[in-house]
Structure 1
């Protein structure tokens, strides 16, 4: 038993040992833009499933091409060879990170490799010199005047067409509004018109019952003044019984029950897709007609004078006239809105053609950073050691204890942070100052690299950066870090290409840092950045 266990672990260790990835590269030093060929090799069993990564970048190196996998059979095993073409367009030293290769679902990592990318030296003494080209005349915006004339005539023509269309619509004869003298006359006429349609004979039983019951409901609502149109069948029958008691209507139970039968039959047809037989439909029509007549006869007769009838007719005519005017007014309003919107669209199209889309977007729709550029700027002093800087808005103080780790704060005597916006926004300004408790030698290069790594913690990808020495106008030396990165919104997955610049100084046993970020394609953001960083002034503590 012990021998079997030992053999099992020996076999297991052999399998684990064989699952490794060999890493190699054609050269560790090349010029900017040249291709590095990275090779990953692994030897596996014939039944193993191997998955190589499909990344577009490895660290800060871009994958130009992912070559096909070469397979070499070695006895009972396969050797899989995968090559990648990598490049970088900034000089410096870069690290190709450990790359995971999944063998049977488990990651096996390659070795990391350090490479160097050198600048391309240009000897300007051996290059042929050329004269400065002459100024190229720019075509005047209104050189093609005939285009604008056609657009203007098109707007006028569109307006004329819409005007004649509206006039034609208004001139068309309107359907005559029939005025009925009484609810019973209206109900009787509508029942006759319904029979002429022959809906149920054509198979439109649902529409037939819908119109049949609507006629009855509308009659009851107008004649007895109960909300029949918006009531359920049971509510309508109950309301009819109550109204009969209150108004002393001579309604028999048979009449109410017949009406209730038809209404329930209509509900089954409309909602349960019931299909009554032809004789049942005829019976329901008779029940409705008889119920309407019976209800009408049960109402106490009232003698109406001729002048009252004439007044009622006049009121109906006035209502019809006002309804017609209201419809005409609504048509005119909708048409006017359509004409105005059409002319606005044409005007915007013309303006975009002449000035460009960016001009229209920035000046009509609005642009946040453009408003910052044109607003009133503030020149103020922040932190200790102090930083004097000009900004479009006053920077807001933030509690450093809520942002920085406790281990870091334990080394600091004081730290102050001031910000406008957020690193996750399209524009950001930040000023931070800190002083150490003990005398500390600060390495600005390491500090700059640490500042850039903060971007990774908030979701930045593909971070590219350069660093160089920087002097203020008063000769205070510091470090400038700048570059681009891709910010990923973790909520909606949207990515934004950002440009950043960081100025770092060390004075009076402390650190001063100014950070500005904006969208790479935001010209106003760049204008703000240049103005902010050019305004930086520091007090020279070393000369005090």
Structure 2
């Protein structure tokens, strides 16, 4: 019968992961009054390069965490002793078990020892005890979570971008209409004044100064005399001005044309030969350009007053220019607004990366499947017979054991029920199975654990490392816990993942209850899920 039972246990189980012990556990007292503080202390000694993560817990078993004390660090030669304390309390009398707590050392999980404590009643003397008024109602913390904070930050950033766009639009339209000048001379004069206000010479930007100075002159010549000045070389432009002065009967002195040519050639030397004129030469060149423009404007013959059709045409051209400028400014507003939003998003993301870490930002912006499970709505339910009451992120689905187990195993079983969420290759996997045997059987939990591990190996688990210890539920029911690491092979893409597993086994007179948890090693969210599941375990007696 025992041989058949071991064969059955080999064919029964499920999944995944391992660990070593390196944590000292102690408590200041094992007996306290209702509402008084138990101070739980965890110590570990690590190297200076090790990274230790103590969990943030609201409850440890049935006890509430009322204070999570800062970590004390004591240097000892080349090692550090890290001391973490939790203040625990309970408001119902009775005996309680503080379950093992999972600590990550260099991303590897280690467990503290479980402890038993007792909470005693407090005698109240209502004759001598002073009575106080009932306190005002306090507002409870919302259970919405922290996602709305990130949504609010995003809305604020988008609102800032929208404001930048609106502000630029409001102040640019009037400015554009002012910049579309009625005459070329008006435009050239204004641009020369603006050029001086930029103080490019004082900043040492001589090349930029000469480039803008000659562009103003070329633009004026192109618009006023209708010569393609912007596309012409210096020689071509001077020759074109001389021809235009003859055709348009413009009275130009040789000195005017020579001054223009000198400044243009000086600009060419500055731009292409890296020449550096003296300050007084720069001032003279600017004055020469201004005199040339004024001389050219005075030399252009006065035209006959335009007819109404010409006036309409000029106005249409002016409106066209305004539209072009508006389009350019609109594009600039869009680019500026987008750049503002991108900058603020980048700055906000960088801030959270620096303060919270890259994983925090990635998990909250992109998402993390285990984090979504942890923060979702959990379900507490009873599974199987003998019943296992357990709290999980998702409801476990019933599996047909007839399809899972061979006939030889089913021949030993009076009743078996199996409930599963996920699979061994998923980010989180949990199973609950309960079994009642036909004949009285002395169940060896250590052998049952060994059979479960062999089944996991048959299902794709490789390099299995296992640790075994006694386990006790919050109600004091004792069982066996196996935990460790393994490599899980994905049969689809042949990839492998390092996983951590925990197996709980409990026996009754003719019944076996098993809980298996498996998840990727180093997944801190999955570690929290696992701890919460194990702390919620309650067992029911077998019914006939």
TM-score (norm 1): 0.41
TM-score (norm 2): 0.41
Q: Which has the higher contact order (CA 8 A, sep 6+)?
A: 2
